[in-house]
Chain A
């Protein structure tokens, strides 16, 4: 009965989708290329220090007027 209460607002869904699609549009990069970039980045990083690929987070972020590529690559705990 209170299902509508929990329903995610379509406004929020749209806002997220737009931010994501525009980040690719602005960078002139397809989501597929982004995955490739992530993979290559991972391979390079792995050469220098061990980290957990599952925790990798690479994405575009809008900072003021510019788009920046943000890569968050945490090191493995046990190697600390």
Chain B
């Protein structure tokens, strides 16, 4: 993706936006990019705990917007990967200083003045001002969708809103896929979701208990090496590589039937 500022969004809540932001951000940093992940879910911040950085938050996004601190004071450096930084959302519910203009200015400063290669913006659920603010600073988007009815419907709505904002690089992450359910015909296949939503795919992440375990201890799974080849952490690392332009084959969850064969055909093997 050419976009240096990427918003992670979904419309529906609870589909894995924050987990995706943390894992893709961490994986990009591990590949050598200087990355800042920004939590824009004002009043309901969570990216800090998912990344295990909650104990180090001093200033937040609203402090930056209201001029209580310098941007550089508010970005928290991750100790595991030295090129990874977090800008936390505030936990107070006052959103009055949230503005598209301030958001755009903050992202511009990170990219131009602070030398960041990539800014990954975790959007709040919904299609209201929080989402609009998050999207306003982005030139690319990762739309996270679960293969179920309300998530797909909401994703369609979000894709329409992103397109009306002229965000051209919109990529889809199918999250929490359960290969066994797909195999018995009780879950949408990835190519069903692509056919319905009509956007390009960038990742398929299987349902994986390890994600919850990693979140429990505040260590993004994508930072942990090893693990099963078909794990969610591997899927997130692959997404980071695809964002950087590498061609990475999609994970194969069912060797025998190869349920992704159609998908690969659809994308000409890319």
Q: Tell me, yes or no, whether A binds B.
A: yes
A interface residues with partner B (beta carbon < 8 Å): 9-12, 14-15, 17-19, 21-22, 25-26, 62, 65
Binds A, one of B105-113, B150-158, B235-243: B150-158
17 contacts between A and B (CB under 8 A): A9-B184, A9-B185, A9-B186, A11-B185, A11-B186, A11-B187, A11-B189, A14-B148, A17-B149, A18-B152, A19-B196, A21-B153, A22-B153, A22-B156, A25-B153, A25-B157, A62-B198
B185 touches A26 (CB 8 A): no
Q: Chain B interface residue count: which class? A: 10 to 19
Binding site for A on B (CB under 8 A): 148-149, 152-153, 156-157, 160, 182, 184-189, 192, 196, 198
B149 touches A18 (CB 8 A): yes
Q: Count the A-B residue pairs with Cβ separation under 8 angstroms: how many?
A: 36
Bound state CA distance, A19 and B198, in angstroms?
12
CB neighbours of B149 from chain A (8 A): 14, 17-18
A22 and B192 form a contact (CB under 8 A): no
Do B185 and A18 touch across chains, with their CB atoms under 8 A apart? no
Q: Cα distance A44–B152 when bound, in Å?
A: 37
B145 to chain A, nearest CB (A): 11
Q: Which residues of B contact A65 (CB under 8 A)?
A: 198
Contact of A11 among B157, B160, B192, B198 (CB under 8 A): B192
Complex-state Cα separation, A17 to B149, whole angstroms: 8
- Tell me which residues across on chain A come within 8 A of B184, comparing CB atoms: 9
Closest to A12 in B: B185
Asked if B196 contacts A15 (CB within 8 A), the reply is yes
